[in-house]
Amino acid sequence: MYPNFISHIRKYVELDDHSVARLNQYISPLKLKRKEFLLKEGQICQSIYFVEKGCLRMYFIDDKLNEQITQFALEHWWIADHFSFLDNKPSPYFIQTIEKSEILAISTTSFEEMLRELPQMERYFRIIVQRAVAASQLRLKYMYEMSKEEFYQHFSTTFPEFVQRVPQYMIASYLGLTPQYVSELRKKKL
Amino acid sequence: MYPNFISHIRKYVELDDHSVARLNQYISPLKLKRKEFLLKEGQICQSIYFVEKGCLRMYFIDDKLNEQITQFALEHWWIADHFSFLDNKPSPYFIQTIEKSEILAISTTSFEEMLRELPQMERYFRIIVQRAVAASQLRLKYMYEMSKEEFYQHFSTTFPEFVQRVPQYMIASYLGLTPQYVSELRKKKL
DNA sequence: TTCATTTCTTAAACCAGCTTAATTTTTTAT
DNA sequence: ATAAAAAATTAAGCTGGTTTAAGAAATGAA
């Protein structure tokens, strides 16, 4: 049904076929075109989203009206504004497709029911959320220790698939650089 | 026994007295003086730590030999290098007490056993780790949208208890500023 | 209380990365 | 294919925050 989703879960917990069938009850599949929104500023983030296929970005508008990208999500990544999702607060973020994408959504209420019915999923989410914390600790360490130039070079060599797939100005935004500066850095490297 | 610990868990999940008794099996209490280490660079982070009383910092040494603080932990906060803890990799971090502290440690193996025996704890950790992700999303948003001056002013008005308790140069380090610049900002504000 | 250590301040020179603004190239929709 | 829109480049001037170097003040240990 959703091969990336199921195989991702089975990487971390055991899940028999009956549980897979039950799991489907809680999931809403979405087919989205390029530049469609899953969340807009001011809305409550009512679901967490799994990228079955495609690519998303999460961003907010800063005081100079720039779109500041804080996260990307490719295949088998989860994305949400967790603060908004957990506490039902309006989100400052937009979540938008960068390409045509297939997304699985689990709403707040489905999430709660699913975790009650399927304790393996409680375990699965504990593990992947813990991995998300590990990833954000690492990202933060890079931000502390690298200059912006190093940070860009590191990112583009570590994740070349992103540089292929995502416009350069979005990578600049994610890394906290101006597009002009990225352009300068690329020129310098050749 | 450990009032902050138990009441913190009971904020998020139900835990009967029998479970509390079982829980104690998995916990190692530590009494530490000022400036003692729970983790040093190169070691594997074998435990996650709960601050029952006191104050910790987590930092690494950057290429200019500065101590870069990435996290603090006060009462009822958890702290660990999650990447090292999950994957048994050597950590680049130091975790050290700032004051005399009482810490509860749960080792990798205890953690696994505890989660198997007490499913409420799986749920508890899923929730608090999800909250940690929410907190780090928020922190990152602040880093994107604020100048270093704003970031300092925001931090010191939002967490005045930190400014009381932690030396100024550590706050500077945590915020990614030089101590000299913080000094300048304070002068400016008076 | 005293000394040694740690922490904080001051000030001037410096620079990584931003701003502004105009032009060119690439991509998308029809 | 073609026009319109979106993305990338170039270059000059500027600034927020760092670096370097001393000295002053606060704190902890004995």
Q: Does the structure show a pLDDT above 70 at A136?
A: yes
Q: CB-based contacts of A143: which residues, under 8 Å, 6+ apart? A: A151, A176, B143, B176
Residue at minimum CA to C1' distance from nucleotide D27: B167
Per-residue confidence (pLDDT) for residue B23, from 0 to 100 = 96
**Per-residue pLDDT band at B1 (split at 50, 70, 90):** confident
**Per-residue pLDDT band at B161 (split at 50, 70, 90):** confident
Question: B152 and B111, same structural domain?
Answer: no
Question: B63 and B128, same structural domain?
Answer: yes
Question: B64 and B130, same structural domain?
Answer: yes
Domain end among B100, B120, B137: B137
pLDDT digits (tens, 9 = 90+) for B113-152: 999 999 999 999 999 999 999 999 999 999 999 999 999 9
Question: A70 and A94, same structural domain?
Answer: yes
Question: B103 and B28, same structural domain?
Answer: yes
Residue at minimum CA to C1' distance from nucleotide D18: B178
**Per-residue pLDDT band at B190 (split at 50, 70, 90):** low
The CATH number assigned to the domain holding B16 equals 2.60.120.10
Per-residue confidence (pLDDT) for residue A190, from 0 to 100 = 64
Question: B42 and B125, same structural domain?
Answer: yes
Question: A77 and A28, same structural domain?
Answer: yes
Question: B78 and B153, same structural domain?
Answer: no
State, as a whole number of angstroms, the distance between the CA of A180 and the C1' of D17. Answer: 21
First-to-last CA distance in chain A?
A: 45
Would strands A67-73 and A101-107 be described as parallel, antiparallel, or unpaired?
A: unpaired
Q: Which two tokens stand for residue B144?
A: 């994107």
Question: A188 and A129, same structural domain?
Answer: no
Q: Which residues of B touch A (CB under 8 A)?
A: 60, 62-63, 68, 70, 81-83, 86, 92, 115, 119, 122-123, 125-126, 129-138, 140-141, 143-145, 176
Question: Which residues of chain A make contact with B133, given a CB cutoff of 8 A?
Answer: 82, 129, 132-133, 136
Q: What percent of chain A has pLDDT over 90?
A: 94
Question: A87 and A33, same structural domain?
Answer: yes
Provide the domain limits for residue B186. 146-190
As a whole number of angstroms, the distance between CA A35 and CA A77 comes to 18
For B52-81, what is the mean pLDDT?
94
Mean pLDDT, chain B, rounded, equals: 95
pLDDT digits (tens, 9 = 90+) for A39-93: 999 999 999 999 999 999 999 999 888 999 999 999 999 999 999 999 999 999 9
Count the domains in chain B.
Answer: 2
Distance from CA of A20 to the nearest CA of B (A): 20
H-assigned helices in A25-159 = 82-87, 108-117, 119-145, 148-158
B184 CB contact with strand D at below 7 Å: yes
pLDDT digits (tens, 9 = 90+) for A25-52: 999 999 999 999 999 999 999 999 999 9
Question: B64 and B27, same structural domain?
Answer: yes
Per-residue confidence (pLDDT) for residue B188, from 0 to 100 = 84
By C1' distance from the Cα of A178, the closest nucleotide is C18
Question: B34 and B122, same structural domain?
Answer: yes
